[in-house]
A and B are shown apart, each in its own frame.
Chain A
Amino acid sequence: MLRSLLSGVCCAALVAGNVTAADLPQAKDSYFAAAKAALDAKLSVQPITGKAKNIIIFVGDGMSVATVTAARILEGQKRGVDGESNVLTIDTFPYTAMSKTYSHDGQVSDSAPTATAMVTGVKTRNDIIGLNQDAVVGDCEASKGKEVKTIFEMAEEAGLATGVVSTARITHATPAATYGHTPDRDWENDKEVGDALAKGCKDLADQLVNWPAGDGFEVVLGGGRSNFVPKETADAEDEGKTGSRTDKRDLTAEWTAKSNNHLYVTDKAGFDAADLSSGAKLLGLFDRSHMEYELDRAKDAKGEPSLAEMTTKAIERLAQNETGFVLMVEGGRIDHAHHAGNAARALEDAIAFDQAIKKALEITKREDTLIVATADHGHTMTINGYPKRGNPLFGLVVDVDGTVAKAADGKPYTTLGYANGPGAVFPALEKGKTDAQPAGVRPDLSTVDTQSPDFLQPALVPMESETHAGDDVVIYAWGPQAHLVSGTVEENYIYHVLSNASGLGQQD
């Protein structure tokens, strides 16, 4: 018995050794050939081991693995090509790693500690920006001496140019982590800081405009205008609305007063007209709060640039610096639409984020610019059921045999769904009430337009706002030292890759 087994092994090995790839029965299979071509291409990829002059960190806020997959399918289906095998720009990055996104005190984190991890190299507590884990949430006194330095501050001190771009308020957690140090991410304007102002804590809008690092940001583009403007001043776009500040300070005026080359714009026309060729510094605040979702951008009253347009303008300005630059670009509202339980807006924003990355690859050189694209944390959206290849992403699950799939309640269901959030059919408990409310019955989706952009995907647990998720996210890397992005790493490892590649924060 043993002998015959051994001889069998021997012969199988011999046979395998004699067969050439071309002889294999699957040799002409299109999947086989395409994957072989992908391997051949990979064999010729050489790591770029030199120093990175420039660094761009793209953060897709809440861009879970499922979000990337769904955006890929949607982008393909919108162009009329096969969605499943479609290739986003982010899919072309040669090196990837899994990022562990937990924070110092949270199994599931929010954007404040996660962005802090990426730009400073330390994990801190949920809700805290730019302070270490010894800080206490909301405690101004306890935050003293807990500041950690961001790679943007190191860049400014080293004479590099810096920029921050986001579709969210520019004082929102992710962009704020580039310049801010605060024990409460909600301290976006002086009114929010309240009593802590007297203890010496400053709001994030103030910290941005009066950032002490080097000569400050060269480019700042995003939303959140009301945090920079006093409540006595009318908003530049929304009739009847005003700023939010209670200290009578107009930080946009403080910005333009810094030099006669500090520009401030509030709409698409101003953005297009801003001439940065002679080294002007640009502050663009395009909405009172967050900028529009990509799906709604065309209807914005005064017009907003796209994330790709903002990214292009930022890189063109920052590249004027001979020493190099550090830029953060955030797709900030992938996260917000997920919180709303609305996959259509989340995925359109994810596609807009990918288009911004495409622009960056086009106008930078792989030899001198390290581009890291990642998410700060995940979300609870899943791609579920056994939908057939090419099934409309927002549609009901249709099985491979062409029949509409039915759940155990006899009703159809959508491919996309959330673990929790407003799409639940059980109402959240009303405020002030303690009695459980009657359970809802799942609606019959066969008569519902699930492909409407306003449709909320079904959720299980009722929540006013869908939550973040704790699963790993992907880090994608391109350029010098990108090969160090591999394996499963801590989220704060990203900082060390950026530091190692650029030399920022390294002892000479």
Chain B
Amino acid sequence: MQRLVSVVFLVFISAAIAAGAAFGAASTLTFSELYEKGSDPSAKTKALTGSEVSIVGYMAPPLKAQATFFVLTKMPMAVCPFCDSTLDWPTDIVLIKTSSIVDATPFNFPIKVVGKLEVGFEKDEETGFVSFLRLSDAVFERL
């Protein structure tokens, strides 16, 4: 029991250190800066590909439990009963891939995510989820 606690504690410390480093160095990207038009990435998005970026958004309700990924949205992701009868992903979403299991935050709390920006279509084999923009090795904090 004590061993488990100290391991957890160590993981927490190292994650905190990694997060601290990441939150300091990353370039800021906003949702409105992601695309030029339609699904064409902007010049800024292209320039930052492969580097650490930070984006503020909302965590969509998890697609599955114990996941190491989630979808970051510009606005809280919920079905509005009088707008849409079915849930449809907006085009400007970012897939966030984390190294540890995601501790879900409520869909309406803004979070800041830092990770390495990846651009290009990718299909997740397990879920079939198709993404175009991703942050890998990401960490996040509630604002």
Contact = CB atoms under 8 A, between A and B. Distances in A.
Contact of B76 (A422, A431, A440): A422
B78 A422 contact: yes
A506 to B, nearest CB: 34
B130 A188 contact: no
B108 A111 contact: no
B143 A448 contact: yes
Interface stretch (A16-24, A312-320, A332-340, A399-407): A332-340
A456 B143 CA distance: 13
Given A339-B83, A464-B80, A465-B81, A239 B39 contact: yes
B38 A301 contact: yes
Contact of B109 (A431, A440, A465, A468): A440
B108 A428 contact: yes
Interface string B27-52: 00011100111110000000000000
B82 interface: yes
B76 A453 contact: no
B18 interface: no
Contact of A454 (B75, B80, B107): B75
Interface string A220-261: 000000000000000000111000000000000000000000
A443 B38 contact: no
Contact of A427 (B75, B83, B85, B109): B109
B108 A462 contact: yes
Contacts of B84: 289
A79 interface: no
B37 A422 contact: no
Nearest to B35: A299
B31 A454 contact: yes
Interface string A438-455: 001001000010001110
A18 to B, nearest CB: 61
Contacts of A440: 109
B80 to A, nearest CB: 4
A197 to B, nearest CB: 16
B78 A465 contact: yes
Contacts of B14: none
A299 B38 CA distance: 6
Contact of A111 (B75, B82, B85): B82
Nearest to B91: A238
B37 A336 contact: no
A452 B107 CA distance: 19
Contacts of A302: 38
Contacts of B75: 340, 342, 422, 454, 456
Contact of A453 (B32, B37, B39, B79): B32
A340 B143 contact: no
A423 B130 contact: no
Contact of B108 (A192, A299, A301, A427): A427
Given A238-B91, A301-B37, A422-B76, A192 B143 contact: no
Given A238-B91, A300-B37, A424 B32 contact: no
Contacts of A443: 143
A110 interface: yes
B88 interface: yes
Contact of A290 (B76, B83, B143): B83
A466 to B, nearest CB: 8
B63 to A, nearest CB: 13
Interface string B54-93: 0000000100000000000011101111111100100100
Contact of A465 (B61, B74, B80): B80
Given A301-B37, A302-B38, A340 B32 contact: no
Given A299-B35, A454-B32, A462-B108, 13 more contacts: A173-B82, A238-B91, A301-B37, A339-B80, A340-B76, A422-B108, A427-B106, A427-B109, A430-B106, A431-B61, A452-B30, A453-B32, A465-B78
Closest 5 A-B residue pairs measured CB to CB? A301-B38, A427-B106, A464-B78, A465-B80, A422-B108
14 contacts: A111-B82, A186-B85, A238-B91, A289-B84, A299-B37, A300-B37, A301-B39, A340-B75, A341-B76, A422-B78, A427-B108, A428-B107, A431-B61, A452-B30
